[in-house]
């Protein structure tokens, strides 16, 4: 689809941070409006300028395409900014000023790119993106527990709870947090669920600190209906594994609100 001279602009609330997406291509707007619950009229905290380039080429020199593209972000310092690169986009990011300039291959959507960019800003606000079965939630440890918020990075078919209503979500394991061994096991169980966009040492250390706080102050037990469904799933799985098979992995639950 040809780009127009004027720009499309939509602002999306991602765990309390207002991201304004600006592009002459309508694709970013399609993603933003796919979950209208997250659209906001707030003044943006971050402006993401997105330029589509049909001649974008990967480092290997081959045209980017959805079959072979590498979506793993690489983050490095570039002067006062960060340079984020994958197989199909390059982004120059100024976290302090709240700006990102993205050059992305034609034909690609922005959902994964926005997940990576939002993870950079969320980490600055002591928040992690955690993978749940239907998508990602934002986890912020606090002195009285952990705040879990929904994000736009969910399956479009997943119904969202009403504003202010809680819903249980399975992350990975349900383990004891009262002992050092239990805490270490919970941490090891949760870390694979974290979307770690920035793998530089200081960012990884901060992620480990936040994850440790989250597992030491869980957000609560799952709701009764969710527990019943999980037990039924365990019974079915045990039948498939047969006698003598190792037990299923323990679960870690969170509670998210709309």
Q: Domain ends where: 68, 103, 124?
A: 124
pLDDT at 91 over 80: yes
* pLDDT-above-70 percentage for the chain: 66
Are 16 and 149 a contacting pair, CB within 8 Å?
yes
Q: Are residues 100 and 196 in the same domain?
A: no
The whole domain housing 198 covers 128-257
Together in a domain, 24 and 94: yes
For the entire predicted model, the pTM comes to 0.75
Q: Examine residue 1 and state whether it is found in any structural domain, yes or no.
A: no
| Last residue of one domain, picked from the residues 124, 158, 186 | 124
Q: Is position 3 within any domain? A: no
Least confident of 65-79, 141-155, 221-235: 221-235
List the beta bridge partners of residue 251. 173
Q: Could you tell me if 120 and 132 lie in one domain?
A: no
What are 70-76's contacts with CB under 8 Å, separation 24+? 71/112, 73/116, 73/197, 73/198, 74/199, 75/120, 75/197, 75/198, 75/199, 75/200, 75/203, 76/200
Q: Which is higher by pLDDT, 58 or 54? A: 54
| Domain final residue, candidates 75, 97, 124 | 124
Residue 119 shares a structural domain with residue 199? no
The verdict on 181 and 65 lying in the same domain is no
Token pair for 105 = 């291959």
In a domain, residue 38? The reply is yes
Residue 96 in any domain: the answer is yes
Query: Do 71 and 140 fall into the same domain?
Result: no
Give how many domains the chain has, as a whole number: 2
Query: Do residues 1 and 25 touch, judged by C-beta distance below 8 A?
Result: yes
Could you tell me if 220 and 165 lie in one domain?
yes
């Amino acid at each position: 689809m040809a780009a127009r001279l004027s720009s499309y602009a939509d602002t999306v609330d991602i765990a309390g941070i207002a991201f304004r997406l600006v592009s002459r291509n309508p694709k970013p707007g399609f993603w933003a409006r796919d979950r209208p619950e997250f659209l906001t009229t707030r003044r943006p905290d971050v402006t993401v300028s997105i330029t589509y380039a049909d001649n974008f080429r990967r480092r290997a020199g081959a045209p980017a395409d959805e079959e072979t593209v590498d979506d793993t972000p690489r983050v490095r310092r570039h002067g006062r900014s960060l340079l984020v690169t994958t197989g199909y986009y390059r982004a120059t990011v100024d976290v302090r000023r709240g700006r990102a300039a993205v050059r992305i291959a034609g034909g690609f959507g922005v959902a994964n790119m926005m997940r990576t960019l939002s993870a950079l800003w969320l980490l600055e606000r002591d928040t992690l993106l955690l993978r749940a079965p239907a998508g990602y939630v934002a986890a912020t440890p606090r002195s009285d527990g952990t705040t879990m918020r929904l994000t736009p990075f969910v399956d479009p078919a997943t119904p969202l709870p009403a504003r202010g209503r809680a819903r249980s979500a399975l992350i990975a394991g349900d383990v004891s947090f009262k002992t050092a061994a239990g805490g270490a096991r919970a941490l090891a169980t949760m870390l694979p669920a974290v979307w770690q966009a920035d793998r530089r040492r200081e960012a990884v250390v901060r992620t480990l600190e936040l994850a440790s706080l989250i597992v030491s102050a869980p957000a609560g037990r799952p709701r009764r209906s969710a527990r019943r469904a999980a037990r039924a799933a365990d019974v079915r799985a045990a039948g498939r594994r047969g006698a003598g098979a190792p037990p299923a992995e323990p679960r870690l639950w969170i509670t998210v609100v709309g």
